[in-house]
Amino acid sequence: MPARPWIPPHRKGHSMSETALFAREFLRSPLRTASLIPSSSRLVERLIAAVPERGEPVVVELGPGTGPATEAIQRKLAGRGRHIAVELNERLATHLVRRFPRAEIVTASAWDLPSVLADRGVRTADVVVSSLPWSAFTGPHGGTLVPKIASLLSESGVYTQFTYTFARWAPPSRHRLAQLRQAFEEVVASRTVYRNLPPALVYSARRPRGPVGQSLSPAVRAANRIAS
């Protein structure tokens, strides 16, 4: 039986250099990065809970940042399956390549996910883990991202997305939640993780609706126009 690759032990906090890197990228582009500090280990634990502990799953990660969830996914996979992390920020992607040589780090937009997977011979993913801010789902093409994710998941696939609790009831967040419910048969919110700054929760979406989920209802399309 081949030896499993060694994975660095999980740190309870983040290194000063990683926190500084994340903060710099936030200052460069607040809407794209959306937070001054990386996610806490408690939030990450809930975010990656759907990653299987057995088998050879395909795990896709969107917006990994400095890699708190990337590290946890790598540790949980322990050399199994595939881990494709899509990061738009070139500086953060370079950091991830150095830190996680076993993960497939791709510098691209989440909206290019179909071609990113196709270029790597992947038809469907088992889990999509997203740390993208809800602000990334606005704009002229923002409403297409959730249906794209749903269309790329296997029938038993799971999509997890975190959001900050203070923004949960704001119109943009409610519109994105409507998208999730349109594209998936089951959407469950976790309890609030107060040991995160700011406090946050995780949505877990299961049973993608396939072609139905890819065609948003008029109500959701109208909500998208308002949010944009």
What burial letters (b/e) apply to 67-104, b meaning 16+ CB within 10 Å?
bbbbbbbbebbeebbbbbbbbbbeebbebbbebbeebb
Domain presence at residue 189: yes
CA distance 29 to 67: 18
Q: Which of 182, 175, 139, 141 is nearest to 159 (CA)?
A: 182
Residue-wise DSSP of 187-213: EEEPPPBSSSSS-EEEEEEEEE-THHH
Domain presence at residue 174: yes
For the domain that residue 126 is a member of, what is the CATH number? 3.40.50.150
pLDDT in tens for each of the 228 residues of the chain?
A: 444 443 333 334 445 465 555 445 444 554 444 444 567 899 999 999 999 999 999 999 999 998 999 999 999 999 999 999 999 999 999 999 999 999 999 999 999 999 999 999 999 999 999 999 876 666 666 678 999 999 999 999 999 999 989 888 888 788 889 999 999 999 999 999 999 888 999 999 999 986 543 444 444 344 344 433
Domain presence at residue 105: yes
Number of structural domains found in the chain: 1
Residue 6 is predicted with a pLDDT of: 36
Given a contact cutoff of 8 angstroms between Cβ atoms, the answer to whether 156 and 119 are in contact is no
Instruction: Find the helix or strand (DSSP H, E) in which 148 lies.
Output: helix 145-152
Residue 123 is predicted with a pLDDT of: 96
Domain presence at residue 199: yes
Q: What pTM was estimated for this model as a whole?
A: 0.78
Residue 168 is predicted with a pLDDT of: 84
Domain presence at residue 43: yes
Give the dihedral of Cα atoms 95, 96, 97, 103; nearest 10 deg. 170
Q: Taken in order 85, 7, 18, 167, is the CA torsion positive or negative?
A: positive
Structural domain range at position 103? 16-227
Residue 17 is predicted with a pLDDT of: 61
Domain presence at residue 10: no
Domain presence at residue 139: yes
Domain presence at residue 61: yes
């993913």: which residue's tokens?
125
